[in-house]
Structure 1
Amino acid sequence: MWRGLVFSVAVVLAVGGCTTGGGESRVGQSPPVVETTAGSGAPGAVPSASERRRRVVPRVPAGVWAGYMVFDRAAGKVTVRRDAHQTVRSASVVKILIALDYLESRREVPAGDLALLRGMLRSSDDRAATVLWTRGGRRAVVARMVKRLRLVDTAPPPADRPGYWGYTAISAHDVVKVYRYLLERARPEVRDLVLGELRKATRCGTDGFDQYFGIPRAVRRPWAVKQGWSGFGTVPAEPCGQAGANGLRYRPAAAPDLGLGRPVLHTTGTVGEDDRHIVVVLTLHPAGSSFRAASGRLTALTRQVLQAGGI
């Protein structure tokens, strides 16, 4: 257990946000493609879970790119995937790596740093992420985690934008590996702190954006989530409570495979008892998409991915 921790530290939710890096909307929802096979069973028979997985093909909305993966820890296998190695900018999903890099290097966490970790993981506080990112050496944080976790697609932000932690390149495949590391290899106190905070994800991020899109809207608890969003401005059109601006505005940087110039919206986490399923859905939306429209599309797609993955 962590020694010397003060667990009653209050986290101020009115600072920071996820602009580097939702309420549910029906905009852009499309039904999944259902593939049927003649003679697959007796008339009126209820299909098994495996048959439903084979029949459901998630429908990605027009103009949207999506990379996703579902890993069933009980079965020890991937149940559904699409473009799992394609990279895109991480937005706030990289905050899991920032937290891991910090925690894996020490045995004690001062109360002030615990407050930063809690705000960053629960409410996606950008200010907290920037403090820990800078202290950890910026791009070196990702380089260390790539080596330690044996990630194959993840890369630091462009060399000319070392402070832009949200420009870290990630893939669905690698984010699944990050969660598997947390669940299977990390020290118990590290696992419990990180996943414990992700299970307590607040409805509102510190920047005023609604974090409850994708997994939190598509499936009932228990779940643990780390969301990511970028490209929707620094202030939401429909604020989720009050939030202060963090003063950080990010300009697109020339870098491959980050989806720069288009909004990204990601939902990642674990679903079910004992964190049975790891679910990652990364999306890139048409330029000019509203947060409401994008979160509605992502939530609808996530429901289909969960169904196709047997959840």
Structure 2
Amino acid sequence: MQIRFIGVLRPAVVLTVLALAALCTTPALGVAPSARQAAIGLPAGVSAGIAVFDRQTGTFTEQFNARARFRSASVVKLLIALDHLWDRGPSYPIPDADRARLDVMLRSSDDGAASAFWDRNGGGAIVERMVARLKLADTAPPPADRPGFWGYTALSAADTVRVYRYLLDEAPAPVRDYIMGNLRASTRCGTDGYDQSFGIAAVFDRPWAVKQGWSGFDSNGCTTDTPAPRKQESAPRPAPADGVDLRRPALHTTGTVGAADRTIVAVFTLHAEGTPYGKAYSDLGEVVRRLNVPGGTHTPGGWFGTWGSGVRVRARATTDSAVLTTLPAGVDVLAGCQKRGQTVTVPPYTNDWWAYLPKYGGYITNIYVSSPGDKLPDIPDC
């Protein structure tokens, strides 16, 4: 039997129900009581702003630093899209070129498309218009010395919930259906090569819709040869006077979960400088798994750490089957079942067991899963 233990196995976490009053006051970023941080599974060195709103009951089920301001990263693309469609009328025919840009911006977080609309529609004026239209309390354009960096727009979890509530309950139906349809069609890989299926997409079964944000990381996952560049908004900068941190890496998951978009989820996180993308991806997932999200169904299986860089997810349990994607280095994965397949040797290890990853629709050799023994504990055979 192969014996190894690489890294620390993250146990499956239990859903924590944290019912809060809809308008409760949230503590300032970084000073929340340690017990509250533990309850939402906030890892050491991670700052967060969280708001979860149940549209069926009209109440928040989670609020934690919900008014804290973060740099938005690509979440601002929601405002860019809404602003572009605002005065076109409910039946406005979107030109093919605009539709193509909007589609790839919303589904695959394309930066070039966002920059095109940003420059065309007035840059920071887009944010100012949307603040006034939606009555956003914490949102502000990028700093004056970085006018083209749309990802430096200040945004809070509470304001993000407001954006989704407008989109779902007040926007013209064609606008709602178009934007939400794109968010439901979110691709695993962004056009910049980052794996963007973290947070909501990693934890819950469909139906869900997501708009993610990431900034300040070196890419892992979704590429097999060369690492992807940093995103447009990712150049590290000191925090400006208004307190929005532009230095620490940011990873955000926002969207809706459940039938009829029952629950709106907005989780903004900042991580210690130098944090690998896979670790931030996993830390964010651990927080999301603990949230009280009405209507959300957790995908069954067990969570395990992985090791190695460029680990391939394959269509079958063989090394000659199609590569579906690659994992961010060191990311936690959900194993649904396992089966014997091709024997693989990665010295000093040899193993013929493969884990099926339901969120990826494929298999990885158990060699790269951080667990003792050839088989994963408590995971059924496929």
TM > 0.5 fold call? yes
User: For the residues of structure 1 that align with 2:123 and 2:116, how far apart are their CA atoms?
Assistant: 10
- Secondary structure, counterpart of 2:214 in structure 1: strand
Cα deviation digits, residues 274-301 of structure 1 (max 9, x gap): 0000011110001100100000000110
- Secondary structure, counterpart of 2:168 in structure 1: helix
Quick check: 1:144 aligned with 2:152? no
When residues 283 and 32 of structure 1 are mapped into structure 2, their CA distance, relative to the original with a 3 A threshold, is: farther
When residues 220 and 110 of structure 1 are mapped into structure 2, their CA distance, relative to the original with a 3 A threshold, is: same
> Structure 2 counterpart of 1:88, which letter?
F
User: For the residues of structure 2 that align with 1:33 and 1:58, how far apart are their CA atoms?
Assistant: 9
Is the CA contact 1:90–1:168 (under 8 Å) kept in the aligned structure 2? yes
2:119 is matched with 134
> Structure 1 counterpart of 2:220, which letter?
A
Quick check: 1:165 aligned with 2:150? yes
2:370 is matched with none
User: For the residues of structure 2 that align with 1:253 and 1:203, how far apart are their CA atoms?
Assistant: 31
Greater mean deviation of Cα atoms: 195-204 or 99-108: 99-108
Q: 1:182 offset after TM fit, Å? A: 0.2
User: For the residues of structure 2 that align with 1:224 and 1:146, how far apart are their CA atoms?
Assistant: 23
When residues 159 and 28 of structure 1 are mapped into structure 2, their CA distance, relative to the original with a 3 A threshold, is: farther
1 or 2 for the larger relative contact order (CA 8 Å, sep ≥6)? 1
Provide the identity percentage: 50
Quick check: 1:104 aligned with 2:67? no
Is the CA contact 1:161–1:253 (under 8 Å) kept in the aligned structure 2? no
Number of residue pairs the alignment of both structures matches: 265
Is the CA contact 1:87–1:258 (under 8 Å) kept in the aligned structure 2? yes
When residues 34 and 166 of structure 1 are mapped into structure 2, their CA distance, relative to the original with a 3 A threshold, is: closer
Task: In structure 2, list runs of 5 or more residues that go unmatched.
Answer: 1-6, 18-37, 297-382
Is the CA contact 1:119–1:128 (under 8 Å) kept in the aligned structure 2? yes
Quick check: 1:226 aligned with 2:211? yes
Greater strand content: 2
User: For the residues of structure 1 that align with 2:188 and 2:8, how far apart are their CA atoms?
Assistant: 19
- Secondary structure, counterpart of 1:59 in structure 2: coil
Q: Note the aligned Cα RMSD (angstroms).
A: 2.6
When residues 301 and 245 of structure 1 are mapped into structure 2, their CA distance, relative to the original with a 3 A threshold, is: closer
TM-score when normalising by structure 1:
0.79
Q: Between Structure 1 and Structure 2, whose CA radius of gyration is higher?
A: 2
- Secondary structure, counterpart of 2:194 in structure 1: coil
Greater helix content: 1
Quick check: 1:266 aligned with 2:252? yes
Task: In structure 1, list runs of 5 or more residues that go unmatched.
Answer: 1-24, 36-55
User: For the residues of structure 2 that align with 1:101 and 1:299, how far apart are their CA atoms?
Assistant: 30
Is the CA contact 2:15–2:289 (under 8 Å) kept in the aligned structure 1? no
2:220 is matched with 237
Greater mean deviation of Cα atoms: 248-257 or 281-290: 248-257
1:59 is matched with 41
